[in-house]
Amino acid sequence: MLDYSFGIAIFNEKNEWKKKRLLVSAIIINLGVLFFFKYFNFFVDSANHLANEFGLSVNLPILNILLPVGISFYTFHSLSYTIDIYHEKLEPTKDFVAYASFVCFFPQLVAGPISRARDMLPKLVTPRKIDGELMVQGVSQIILGFFKKMVIADSLAVFIDRIYGSLHVSSDLSILFAVIFYSFQIYCDFSGYTDIALGLGKVFGITLKVNFNRPYFSKNFSEFWEKWHISLSSWLRDYLYIPLGGNRKGAVRTYFNLFITMLLGGLWHGASWNFVIWGGLHGTYLIIQRLVKIKLPVFLAILLTFSLTTLTWIFFRSPTFHDSWYILQRIFTMESYEILLIFAFLKLVYLVIALLILEIFFYNHFERINAKAFIINIILIIHLLMFCTYSGNGFIYFQF
C-alpha cells in the first residue's frame, strides 16, 4: 500500500529534489522491512561473535522472528515499481487491485520469477480471454515442472541430504557425487518451480518471462548469469550494477561494481556468511573472466564453467563455513571411494541423464502442441508414477 501511494506521489511531484526524497524514502522503508525480518538476527549474531573475539562481554538479544512468505521476491517487485516511475519508464496505476495482483500474483509470489510492473500491469488491466492453446502449453509446462521437482530434485535430495548429514562417515567419492548432484538438484528444484509458475500463468492467460535457459550449457560466467535466475540477475543489473556505474567508469570501477553486485546478490539469498562467500566467488569469476581472455574449445569451456559453479554450490548448500571447507578438503584429497546403495545411485545417474536428454533434444517441448509433445508428456507422467519421491520436500527457494 505504501509503494502504491509512493508511486502516485513520485509521478505527481514536479520538484526533482522532493521527487528523489520520496524515492529514497520508499527504498529505505522497503529495505528496512526486509532487513528486519531477514537479516536482523544475522547481524546481531555476527556482532556478538565479533565482540567476543575481542574479549568483550556482549550478548545482544536474538529475536524469534518469523520470515514472511516470499518477502524477498515481492519486495523486489514493489521496489522496481517505484524506481521505474521515478525514471519515467512507467506511469503509476490508479487501479489498486491490479497493482496488488502484480505484487502478489500467487504462482510467482514465493519463489519468482521477479516481474516488472511495466511487463505485468498491462496484462492484468487488459481483459483476458480463455486461450485453449495457451492453457495446453501451460499444463504441459506444469507437468515438466513436477517432473523436475518431484522426480529428479527430490530423488537427488535423498542421497545429498544423507551425505551432507554424515560427512565424517561418508567416503570422499560419495561426497564428490553429492556435490555434483546438488548442482542438478537446485537447478531442477528451482527451474521446476518456475515451470509450474509459468505454466499456471499461461492457464490464467498471463505469460511470464522465462527465468532459466539451460544455464549449465554456458561457456562462461557472464553467459551463466544471463541464463540462471534471469529475473534476479537482470534486476540486480538494472537496479544495482548500472546505478553503481556499470562499466562506464573504467576497468577497476567495473570490477568493483561487479563484485559488490554479486556479493549483495549472495546476501539477498539469505542471512549467512556462506551466501556472501557464494556471491563473492561468482563476482571473482566474472572479474577473472574479464582479465583472462583464453579461448577454450566449447566443450571444455562448458565443463570448466559447470565445474567452478558446482564448487560454489558447496557454500550454498552447506549449513556452515566449516562444513564447506571440510567438503572441499575431502573432494580434493580423494582417499576413499566406496559408494553404498549402488542401485539407488544408478537410479540418480539415470535421472540426470534423462534430464540432459530432455534439455538437449526436447528443450521447451511444451511450446509445441503436436504428437511429439504429447508423447513426451506421457513419458514424463510415467516417470512421475515410477520415480516420484513423496518426501514432502519444500522448494529450496521458499527459504529466500
Q: What does the pLDDT read at residue 392?
A: 66
Phi and psi (nearest 5°) for 257? -65, -40
Quick check: 267 and 276 in contact, CB under 8 A? Answer: yes
Q: How many helices (H) and strands (E) does the chain have?
A: 18, 0
Quick check: 285 and 243 in contact, CB under 8 A? Answer: no
Q: Largest Cα–Cα distance of the chain, in whole Å?
A: 71
| Residues designated as active site | 269
Q: Which cell goes with 11?
A: 509521478
Closest alpha carbon to 190 in 102, 303, 274, 110: 110
Residue labelled with grid coordinates 551463466: 224
| Other CB atoms within 10 A of residue 50 CB | 11
Q: What does the pLDDT read at residue 393?
A: 73
Q: Which cell goes with 366?
A: 511444451
Phi and psi (nearest 5°) for 55? 80, 15
Q: What does the pLDDT read at residue 390?
A: 74
Q: Looking at 147-291, list the stretches that DSSP marks H as alpha helix, in order from N- to C-terminal side.
A: 154-164, 172-203, 221-227, 230-236, 242-244, 251-269, 273-291
Q: Which cell goes with 171?
A: 567416503
Q: What does the pLDDT read at residue 340?
A: 65
What is the pTM (predicted TM-score) of this model? 0.88
Quick check: 315 and 277 in contact, CB under 8 A? Answer: yes
pLDDT tens-place values along the chain, 400 residues long: 999 999 999 999 989 999 999 999 999 999 999 888 888 888 888 888 788 877 777 778 888 888 888 888 888 889 999 999 999 999 999 999 999 999 888 888 888 788 888 889 988 888 888 888 999 999 999 999 999 999 999 999 999 999 999 898 888 889 999 999 999 999 999 999 999 999 999 999 898 999 999 999 999 999 999 999 999 999 999 999 999 998 888 889 999 999 999 999 998 887 788 999 999 999 999 999 999 888 899 999 999 999 999 999 999 999 889 999 999 999 998 877 777 677 778 889 999 999 999 999 999 899 888 899 999 999 999 999 988 877 667 787 776 6
